[in-house]
Structure 1
Amino acid sequence: HRDTPEDNASLPWSFDEATKPRVDEILARYPTNYKRSAMIPLLDLAQRQNAGHLSLSLMNHVAEICEVAPIRVYEVATFYSMFNRQKMGKLHVMVCGTTPCMLRGARDIERALSEYMGVEKFETTKDGMFTLGEMECMGCCVNAPMIAVADYRAGVEGYSYNYYEDLTPQSAVRVCEELKAGKSPRVGSQTRDKAEPLPGQTTLLEPPPGPQCRDLN
C-alpha cells in the first residue's frame, strides 16, 4: 500500500447505521472467541458499502471488529481477487477468460467491451461508470462465453452480482448499454433456457404419460 490523499489510515471509515445490524448478524454466526471467522463476510459487506473497493481505513476498521492485527486483514484482502484495492466504477464488468470461454470468443468480447468503454483491461472509464476486468472460471462453462457484473450503484441493499451468458461481442455491449441506462437486461443465458442444448429442447416436449400399470383416473 502507498498512502494517497484518498486512501490512508487517517481517513475515518465505519459501517453506517443502516448496515450495522448486518454486521451484528454476521458476528452472531461465530463464537465470540473466533471473531476472525467473520473477516471475509465483513470485508464483502464493507466493499459493498464503499462503492466496490477496500480502503486502508476500512480494512483497519474490520481488523478492530475481528480483534486481529491489521496485517491479517491485509493478507486476506490482497489474496482474494474478489476484493478490490483500487477504486472501481459503478459497474464492474468481468470477462471470463478461462479455456472454455476463450475458445468460444471471450477475447472478442473483451475487445468489444474495451472499444465500447474506451478503456483497457483493469481501467475505469472517465465518467466512473465502468471498470473492465477479468475473472477466472465462473463455473458456467456450458454457457460460455460469459461476463459477470457487480453493480455498486445502490449501496449495500441494492447491490447485485449477475452472470450474462452465451454472449457475442454485440450482445455483451448491449447488456452494458442497458445496465448503464438503468434497465434490467436478461440475466443468465441470452439465447436459451438455462443450459438446454443450443438447438433448443430435444426431450420431454410433451407431458409424460402416466404409468401403464394402473389407471390414475
Structure 2
Amino acid sequence: MATEPAGSDLPEILARYPRQPGELLNVLIDLQAHYRYLPKKALKETAEYLNVPFSQVYSVATFYKALSLKPRGEHVIKVCQGTACHLRGAPAIIEELQNVLGIRPGETTSDLKFTLETVNCLGACALAPVMMIDDATYGELTASKLRNILQKV
C-alpha cells in the first residue's frame, strides 16, 4: 500500500474502470484501499477520468465514513459504542486505547500504524464490549486483554 500518490499508480488504478460516472464509488474504494486515504490529487484525476465535477467526487468522498481525506493507519481499530457494549465497558476500552496509543477517536498515530474509530454497532452484542482491528473481531474485552491484542498486531 502506498501512502502518497505515485505518478504511475493512479493511472493504473483508474484504468481498471470504465469511464462512467456510475463507477465513482468503486474507484474511490479502490483508491482508499491502495493509499489508505484519498489524496487530493487522486480525487482531481478521478473527476477528470470519469468526466464528473470535482464537487461530486468530493461530496461522495466525504459522505461515507469508510472513506478518508486524511492518511489512515496501517491498522484501523473500530470500537463498538452500541448499547450492549456501552453498558459492558466500551467507554473504559476507548479510554485505555487512548492512553496506550496516545490518540483519540478519529485520529491516527504519528507512525501511521493505528487509526482509532468508534462505531454505533459491530453486530456482536453477545461478545460485548467488542472491537475490530482491520477484519478481526475481538470480544469480551478488558484492559489487559486489549494490551495483549495490541502487542500482537
Secondary structure class of the residue paired with 1:82: coil
Decide which of 62, 66, 73 is 2:46's aligned counterpart: 62
Secondary structure class of the residue paired with 1:54: coil
Secondary structure class of the residue paired with 1:163: strand
Secondary structure class of the residue paired with 2:117: strand
Equivalent-residue separation in structure 2 for 1:23 and 1:130 (angstroms)? 30
Q: Relative contact order (alpha carbons < 8 A, sep ≥ 6): 1 or 2 greater?
A: 2
Paired position in structure 2 for 1:116: 100
Q: How much is the aligned-residue C-alpha RMSD, in angstroms?
A: 2.6
Equivalent-residue separation in structure 2 for 1:143 and 1:36 (angstroms)? 41
Decide which of 23, 28, 51 is 1:38's aligned counterpart: 23
**Counterpart residue identity of residue 96, structure 2:** A
State the shift of 1:12 in Å.
6.7
Equivalent-residue separation in structure 2 for 1:14 and 1:109 (angstroms)? 42
Residues 29-63 of structure 1 show CA distances to partners (whole Å, capped at 9, x for unaligned) of: xxx7xx2222222111101111x111211112222
Secondary structure class of the residue paired with 1:92: strand
Alignment length (residue pairs): 150
1:129 paired to 2:103 = no
Output the TM-score relative to the length of structure 1: 0.60
State the shift of 1:127 in Å.
2.6
1:75 paired to 2:59 = yes
Secondary structure class of the residue paired with 2:122: coil
Task: Point out the structure with max Rg over C-alpha.
Answer: 1
Say if 1:105 and 1:61 are closer, same or farther in 2 by CA, change over 3 A.
Answer: same
Decide which of 32, 35, 40 is 1:47's aligned counterpart: 32
**More helix as a share of residues:** 2
Runs (4+) of structure 1 exceeding 3 A deviation are: 11-17
Identity fraction in percent: 27
Equivalent-residue separation in structure 1 for 2:49 and 2:149 (angstroms)? 39
Output the TM-score relative to the length of structure 2: 0.81
Residues 87-107 of structure 1 show CA distances to partners (whole Å, capped at 9, x for unaligned) of: 222222121112221112111
Secondary structure class of the residue paired with 1:119: coil
Equivalent-residue separation in structure 1 for 2:93 and 2:80 (angstroms)? 10
Residues 176-203 of structure 1 show CA distances to partners (whole Å, capped at 9, x for unaligned) of: 2101xxxxxxxxxxxxxxxxxxxxxxxx
| Alignment check: 8 A CA contact 2:108 2:116 kept | yes
| Alignment check: 8 A CA contact 1:53 1:85 kept | yes
1:163 paired to 2:137 = yes
Equivalent-residue separation in structure 2 for 1:162 and 1:96 (angstroms)? 13
**Counterpart residue identity of residue 147, structure 1:** M
Secondary structure class of the residue paired with 1:128: coil
**Counterpart residue identity of residue 103, structure 2:** V
Any gaps of 5 or more consecutive residues in structure 1?
A: 1-6, 151-160, 180-217
Paired position in structure 2 for 1:177: 151
